Amino acid sequence: MNLISRRTFLAQAGIVAAAARLGSGPRLSPEQSAVHNRLASDPLRPQYHLLPAANWMNDPNGPIFYKDCYHMFFQYNPNGAFWGSMHWAHASSPDMVRWKHEPIALAPTPGGYDRDGVFSGSAVLDDDTPTVIYTGVLPPTSPSEVTLDDGQHKWREVQCLATSRDRDLRTWHKLAEPIIPWPPKGLGITGFRDPSVWREGRDWMMTLGSGIRGEGGAVLLYRSSDLHHWAYLHPLIAGRGTGRPAANPVDNGEMWECPDFFSLGDRHVLLFATMGKVFWKTGRYRDRSFTVDKEGVVDFGAYYAAKTMLDKDGTRILWGWIPETRPEAETRAAGWAGLMSLPRGLRLASDGTLEMSVATAVETLRGEHAGCDLSGNRSSQAKALTRLRISHLAAEIQAEFAPQRDFQLRLCAQDGQPFAEIATIPKGGAPSCG
What are the sequence ranges of the domains in the chain? 48-363, 368-423
Give the residue with greater pLDDT, 78 vs 7: 78
Residue 35 has a pLDDT of 64
Residue 152 has a pLDDT of 93
* Mean of all residue pLDDT scores within the chain: 88
pLDDT at residue 4 tops 60: no
Quick one: pLDDT band at residue 366, thresholds 50, 70, 90? Answer: confident
pLDDT at residue 22 tops 80: no
**3-state secondary structure string, the chain?**
CCCCHHHHHHHHHCHHHHHHCCCCCCCCCHHHHHHHHHHCCCCCCCCCCCCCCCEEEEEEEEEEEECCEEEEEEEEECCCCCCCCCEEEEEEECCCCCCEEEEEEECCCCCCCCCCEEEEEEEEEECCEEEEEEEEEECCCCHHHCCEECCCCEEEEEEEEEECCCCCCCCCEECCCCCECCCCCCCCECCCEEEEEEEECCEEEEEEEEEECCCEEEEEEEEECCCCCEEEEEEEEECCCCCCCCCCCCCCCCCCEEEEEEEECCEEEEEEEECCEEEEEEEEEECCEEEEEEEEECCCCCCEEEEEEECCCCCEEEEEEECCCCCHHHHHHHCEECEECCCEEEEECCCCCEEEEECHHHHHHCCCCCCCCCCCCHHHHHHHHHHCCCHHHCCCCCCCCCCCCCCEEEEECCCCCEEEEEECCCCCCCCCCC
Looking at residues 379-406, what average pLDDT do you find?
77
48-363 CATH pick, 2.40.50.140, 3.50.50.60, 3.30.413.10, 2.115.10.20: 2.115.10.20
Q: Which pLDDT tens digit goes with each residue over 97-119?
A: 999 999 999 999 999 999 999 99
Q: Which pLDDT tens digit goes with each residue over 72-105?
A: 999 999 999 999 999 999 999 999 999 999 999 9
pLDDT at residue 376 tops 50: yes
Residue 236 has a pLDDT of 98
Give the residue with greater pLDDT, 216 vs 366: 216
Q: Mean pLDDT lowest for which of 42-56, 64-78, 114-128, 306-320?
A: 42-56
Given the residues 59, 114, 260, 311, select the one marked as catalytic: 59
pTM, two decimal places? 0.86
pLDDT at residue 7 tops 90: no
Active site residue 59: yes
